Structure 1
């Protein structure tokens, strides 16, 4: 049983070099891809990712925001699946919040580049796997 889901899962997320995120395509099939880890994390409820607006997943999220994100800790074979929805915020503040100087090599027009995109994932349910056992848990709002 998870004693402190927020701490245990937050630590697992922070140590990973990749996140696996799924979307649903126009035929109703899941599409899973590896992405860089979240740029920003608010507890385990809200994660912000960067991507390209031109990627297929952005259109898929606009059509169907349901998704899940999976993080796998290979050393001890632990994992967490967070289920929820994705928004594609267009506002400049969201883009500035996750922009990094090195992003310019991919987005030559900087933080205002139309291909620079933010994905805001909001979790509603989670599942944790460790020591050959699985456990589901609800996601609550982070303490303020």
Structure 2
């Protein structure tokens, strides 16, 4: 099942990032697919330091990410903790050519940061059934 889930994730152009705001309302943001991942445990995203979600994650780390394969009506929900990374090594790690479209000052742009998501638990939905993802904490 782990290989199937990883393949599903790797074929998506978008991930959906969710958190609960200070007023208790859920917020979901479509994000470009993670730039890097370590198995099903750690995911790295690029984003703007000035965004509302970054301001939120500086004080509240709980989040979820969701990947959906619409063609086969299956998806994976991952719950975990989000960190905002602004050190140069993290920024260099996932920088790609063309990112100046979003961050005109380049890899050192102060409005460029990395979101590191560490998974605590997850569920995989397929064939109209939900399955716990056991391989996350191995």
> TM-score interval w.r.t. the shorter chain?
over 0.9
1:1-144 alignment to 2 at 5 Å? 4-5=1-2, 7-138=3-134, 139-141=136-138
How many residue pairs match? The answer is 137
RMSD: 1.0
Report the Cα offset of residue 62 of structure 1. Answer: 1.1
Where does structure 1 lack aligned partners over 5 or more consecutive residues?
Answer: none
- For residues 30 and 114 of structure 1, the distance between their equivalents in structure 2, rounded to whole angstroms, comes to 27
CA contact under 8 A between 1:24 and 1:60: conserved in structure 2? no
How many angstroms does 1:28 deviate by? Answer: 2.2
TM-score norm. by structure 1 comes to: 0.91
**SS in structure 2 opposite 1:58?**
helix
Structure-1 separation of matches of 2:19 and 2:58: 10
Give the TM-score of the pair, scaled to structure 2. 0.95
CA distance in 2, matches of 1:125, 1:49: 19
User: Structure 1 residue runs of 4+, over 4 Å off?
Assistant: none
Gaps of 5+ in 2: none
